[in-house]
Chains A and B, each alone.
Chain A
Amino acid sequence: DAGVIQSPRHEVTEMGQEVTLRCKPISGHNSLFWYRQTMMRGLELLIYFNNNVPIDDSGMPEDRFSAKMPNASFSTLKIQPSEPRDSAVYFCASSLVAGDYSPLHFGNGTRLTVT
C-alpha cells in the first residue's frame, strides 16, 4: 500500500500566481479531506469529499480556493491568485467509512511558500 500521495512536496511561487496541489488517495477509500496547517491556526479542515462529491467546503477560506475530485483516485486543490498568507503546509487525507468510523490516512503534505 503506497499510502496517500501528494505532489509536489514543496512549492515556492510568487504572489498572484496559480498554485495546484495534487493528491492520490489510498485505493478503495471513499472519503478525502484537505487540511491546512500553520503555526498560528493549527490544522484547519478546508473541504472534504465523500464518494467524489464535496460534502462541506465551509472551511475554504476564500473564493480563491477551489477543490475538485474528478474521480476516486485523484483530487486537486487550487489557489488562484495566491497570496503570501496562503503559505502553509497542505495535507490531503483519505479514509474508508462504511457504517463505522475509521482513521484518516495522511499524505506527507505540500509545503507552500508564496513570496
Chain B
Amino acid sequence: SQQGEEDPQALSIQEGENATMNCSYKTSINNLQWYRQNSGRGLVHLILIRSNEREKHSGRLRVTLDTSKKSSSLLITASRAADTASYFCATDAIIQGAQKLVFGQGTRLTINP
C-alpha cells in the first residue's frame, strides 16, 4: 500500500510551543502533500513538497522530505489555539492523467491555551 502513516496519532501541547508531526510511506512518490481537517469539515490543503525537494516553508509551516527514509515531517512553529485540528499527509501519483491521492491516518493536534 502506498498509504502514509502519521506519527504520533495524537499530540497535545501548550500554545506557543512548536508541534512536529511525522509521516512515513511505503512506495516511491512524486509528491507529498499535507492537509488539515477541522472538526466536522473537509480537508484543506496546506503545502506540497515535490520528491526532488528537501524542505519547504509556508508561513509558520515547515515541511521536510527524506525520500531515502520515505518520511516527511510537518513543523508548526509558535502554535496557536486555532491550529487545533487533525493533520494528514498524502502521497500522490499521476495515473492515466489523473492525480490519485492516498491519505494517512492523521495526527490529532490539540493546542492548549
Contacts and interface: CB of A to CB of B under 8 A. Distances in A.
Count class of interface residues, chain A: 20 to 34
Contacts of A56: 95, 98, 100
Interface stretch (B41-49, B52-60, B62-70): B41-49
Contact of B96 (A33, A50, A95, A103): A50
A68 B40 CA distance: 25
B61 to A, nearest CB: 14
B99 A107 contact: no
Interface of A: 4, 31, 33, 35, 42-43, 45, 48-51, 55-56, 91, 93, 95, 97, 101-109
A101 to B, nearest CB: 5
A72 to B, nearest CB: 14
A18 to B, nearest CB: 24
Contacts of A102: 99
A55 B95 contact: yes
Nearest to B102: A45
A106 B43 contact: yes
A43 B44 CA distance: 14
B103 A42 contact: yes
B88 interface: yes
